[in-house]
Amino acid sequence: MSRLSRRSFLSGAAALTAAPALGAVPKSGAVDVVIVGAGAAGIAAARQIAAAGRRFALIEASERVGGRCITDTRTFGVPFDRGAHWIHIPETNPVLRLARDGFQIDQAARGLRLRIGRRNAREGELEDLLVAQVRSQRAILAAARGTGDVSCANALPNDLRDWQDTVAFVLGPYGVGKDLTDVSAKDFAKVDEREIDAVCRQGYGALLAKLAETIPVTRSTPVRGIDWNRGVTVETDSGRLTARAAIVTVSTNVLAAGTIKFQPELPQPQRDAIAKLSLGSYDHIALELPGNPLGLQHDELIFEKAAGKETAALLANVSGTDLCLVQVGGSFGRELAVRGEAAMTAFARDWLGKLYGSDIGKAIKRTAATDWNAAPYIRGAFSAAAPGGQPGRRVLMAPLRERIWFAGEAVHETLWGTVGGAWESGERAAASVLAQLAVPPRPDRRAPRAQAPEQRPRRRASPPSRFGPDSVPYPFQN
């Protein structure tokens, strides 16, 4: 696959900063490229295409940019990342490399506590959980080396005893937004090492929005249809855009719902890939706890020794504020979110009361809860593959007739579920589109047998992140 060089990209990015109107178009007309969705992948693609001097339209269905990465400063008066929060692998994270003055980036605190009832776990108990987790992840990695694919749940050791539910939560709903029965061992095993993380005090969503400031975005404009018979025609309620190519960055759940009608229909391999890369469920229940009544350090992470699926994780005193996040996911989190924000808040109160005493509820002031499953232009959290679904990521990387490209966190083999992975996917799709635009158009020329585009080199597979006081298994996306 042709790529822009790093030097040409950086010089183009500088030109983009100096000419923010580059690429601006009306809501209808002719452009070189239409980009559907202004999340991380769409923003990354638009910046690269604008830097190359091509005319494009970046179409966003909602009233804001960022997709699943948004910072809310109104609810609590401090930054509240309603979606993505951890900046994974900061030394190579493409979003972090572009951070400018005004944003404070800190290495994520690595404090961790395990609660057993109303007490902290003893050192030996924490070590027992560590051993159970490491054994479980090694078993999943071993299963992934087989010829077939199984669920992560089927790969777990059968002697985890009373640590079974805790390990299942940490690796499943907390880690990937799905119960382990619904997660491919091969997909789990391909994930890049994510032990080291950073956080942005102003919010990850705020940082992403800053990177979109120089990009013209047509907001509140859902795409209704994409005709890719001859060239590309994109239909919205505001008009029709024609282009030589389209980069589609919407979530797999939105694609599966048929919200965007493709003409002709997407081929069966792409439809199968989308179905097996469905989004899981992951939500934050945010609680304002002034005065630190829990007695925790900033950004401490708390799990409980679970007995069943109805459990959560707590991220305390986010960036030194009074904001605490109770995090729920998987099938239990999805069922809880369906019951509404009041039920989510009630669960968080009861859960904290179980761990720290019933009086803790009196200390809670303002509250809020996310529900990404109900967000009409998102419909979930992130895309852990179902058993047998891991090859679908490469299927979605290949362009359709050199007219339609897909991008987003689901279209990355090793960084799926992350903002950085979505960004890299958008840049990769844009580079491929720009290479194609340099070729004179030919009528209905079908591409040769699709070759999966190159990704950045994978890191050597490493043992799973250690689960102890000095190493925290942060989630893949949240």
Domains in the chain (CATH in brackets) are: 6-67+204-278+380-437 (3.50.50.60), 109-195+280-374 (3.90.660.10)
* 3-state SS, residue 291: coil
Beta strands in 316-355 (DSSP E): 323-329
Distance CA 169, CA 305 (A): 10
Nearest to 420 by CA among 247, 144, 219, 193: 193
The pairing of strands 261-263 and 223-227 is: parallel
Q: Give CA angle at 407 (23, 210), nearest 5°.
A: 50
Distance CA 64, CA 70 (A): 9
CA 172 → CA 117, 180, 230, 290, 476, distances in Å?
22, 5, 43, 31, 10
68 or 18: which carries more pLDDT confidence? 68
Tell me if 385 sits within 8 A of 393, measured CB to CB: yes
Distance CA 225, CA 233 (A): 8
pLDDT at residue 107, as a whole number: 87
Please name the amino acid found at residue 253.
Answer: N
Is the previous residue joined to 264 through a cis bond, with omega within 30 degrees of 0? yes
Helix (H) / strand (E) element for 81: namely strand 80-81
The pairing of strands 33-36 and 56-59 is: parallel
DSSP state at residue 77? S
Give me the sign of the Cα torsion angle 302, 315, 329, 335: positive
Backbone angles phi, psi at 189, to 5 degrees: -70, -25
Please name the amino acid found at residue 284.
Answer: H
pLDDT band at 442 (very low <50, low <70, confident <90, very high): low
pLDDT band at 13 (very low <50, low <70, confident <90, very high): very low
184-198, 285-299, 351-365: the lowest-pLDDT one: 184-198
Backbone angles phi, psi at 195, to 5 degrees: -75, -35
Side by side, the strands of the sheet bearing 112-116 are: 119-120, 112-116, 301-304, 313-315, 323-329, 282-288, 367-369
pLDDT at residue 195, as a whole number: 75
Rounded average pLDDT over 396-408:
98
63-67, 188-192, 445-449: the lowest-pLDDT one: 445-449
pLDDT per residue over 242-255, tens digit each? 999 999 999 999 99
Distance CA 180, CA 380 (A): 17
Give me the sign of the Cα torsion angle 190, 194, 200, 201: positive
Beta strands in 330-382 (DSSP E): 367-369
Helix (H) / strand (E) element for 115: namely strand 112-116
CA 260 → CA 61, 167, 193, 256, 264, distances in Å?
11, 38, 34, 9, 12
Rounded average pLDDT over 55-84:
98
Please name the amino acid found at residue 29.
Answer: G
Per-residue pLDDT at 57 exceeds 60: yes
What pTM was estimated for this model as a whole? 0.88
Distance CA 261, CA 249 (A): 15
pLDDT at residue 18, as a whole number: 31
Rounded average pLDDT over 291-297:
95
Scanning 19-146, the segments in alpha helix (DSSP H) are 40-51, 94-97, 123-144
Nearest to 253 by CA among 409, 404, 405: 409
Tell me if 367 sits within 8 A of 287, measured CB to CB: yes
CA 317 → CA 5, 133, 423, distances in Å?
42, 26, 28
Please name the amino acid found at residue 237.
Answer: D
pLDDT band at 192 (very low <50, low <70, confident <90, very high): confident
* 3-state SS, residue 380: coil
Per-residue pLDDT at 194 exceeds 50: yes
Nearest to 154 by CA among 163, 142, 166, 162: 142
3-state secondary structure 134-174: HHHHHHHHHHHCCCCCCEHHHHCCCCCHHHHHHHHHHHCHH
pLDDT per residue over 154-164, tens digit each? 999 999 999 99
Tokens 């509820």 — which residue? 361
pLDDT at residue 477, as a whole number: 47
Q: Give CA angle at 144 (472, 175), nearest 5°.
A: 30
Beta strands in 331-435 (DSSP E): 367-369, 404-406
